[in-house]
Each structure stands twice: as C-alpha cells, then as structure tokens.
C-alpha cells in the first residue's frame, strides 16, 4: 500500500509483495538501535521508491519528482546503504531467491568471456591468426 502522503503512483513504486521481500533486508532504523537516533519522519518505503525511481529512469537525483521524499534525503540514504553493503546484500538475496525458485543453483556458475577480433592483414603471419567460429572468419584476437 503506498504511503498516504504521496498523491501519485509510479511504475517504479514497490508493490505489496515486493515490499514484503525488501523490508526485512533493510538495516534496522537508527532509532531502534542501542546508540539511538531520531525516529524516521516518513516511511522507509518512500525512500526505497525514490531510489528505485532514479535507478529505473536513469534520472538525476535533483530531478526526483516532488511526490517523493526530498532528493537530499534519498541521495543521503543510498550511498550510506551502499557503503554498508546493503545494496549488494539485497541484490544477492533476491537473486538467490529467484534462482532457487526456478530450481537452479543459488549462485551463478557460468562465466562468459568475450574478446574483440580484428581482420588480419596479409602481412600478419598465419601462426598469429586463428579462426573465430562465432564470427566465421579468420582473425586476430585483441586482448586488453
């Protein structure tokens, strides 16, 4: 359910099911820790929705619509969560759930490496060229 303080829904907003998955993965609010802190003025879901809006639309932080929390708030939370490893943790947990739900290994096991092939000049020796089966041509591999 969207926060009552916002008037408009966006495609990037979290659904009830998505929020049920995300909320337990977020760090405990500072006001609930031993060191204490100020209680949050607005629901965390609004912050997550703001971050998702920026990521989904590729917009600049300052271009966050007025329906969301102030851009300074959302911008301040994202790097803090990123430094603390929260963003990576959420990504890994969601990936693990999706993969196990499909009956696959929780961790990716395949690695695909690609390199650039360039057409070899007639002056380039045959021993330094090879056949690139994917591109169906004789070429020289370019390695960075």
Q: Print pLDDT tens along the chain (144 aa).
A: 454 555 678 888 988 988 998 999 998 887 888 887 888 888 889 999 999 999 888 889 999 998 888 999 999 999 999 999 998 999 899 899 999 999 999 988 887 777 665 565 666 556 656 656 666 655 555 555
87 and 133 within one domain: no
Domain that holds residue 121: 112-144
Indicate whether this model's pTM tops 0.85: no
Structurally, how many domains does the chain consist of?
2
> Does residue 2 belong to any structural domain of this protein?
no
25 and 53 within one domain: yes
> Does residue 73 belong to any structural domain of this protein?
yes
68 and 36 within one domain: yes
> Does residue 106 belong to any structural domain of this protein?
no
95 and 67 within one domain: yes
- Cβ neighbours of residue 3 closer than 8 Å, sequence gap 6 or more: 42, 43, 45, 46
**How many Cβ atoms from other residues are within 10 Å of residue 21's Cβ?**
14
């Amino acid at each position: 359910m969207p926060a009552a303080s916002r008037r408009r829904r966006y495609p990037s907003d979290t659904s009830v099911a998505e929020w049920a998955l995300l909320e337990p993965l977020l760090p405990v609010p500072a006001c609930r820790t031993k060191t204490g802190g100020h209680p949050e003025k607005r629901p965390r879901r609004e912050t997550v929705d703001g971050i998702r809006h920026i990521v989904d639309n590729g917009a600049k932080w300052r271009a966050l619509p007025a329906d969301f929390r102030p851009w300074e708030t959302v911008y301040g939370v994202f790097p803090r969560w990123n430094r603390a490893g929260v963003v990576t943790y959420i990504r890994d947990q969601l990936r693990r759930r999706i993969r196990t739900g499909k009956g696959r290994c929780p961790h990716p096991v395949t690695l695909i490496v690609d390199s650039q092939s360039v057409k070899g000049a007639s002056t380039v020796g045959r021993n330094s060229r090879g056949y690139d089966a994917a591109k169906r041509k004789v070429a020289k591999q370019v390695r960075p």
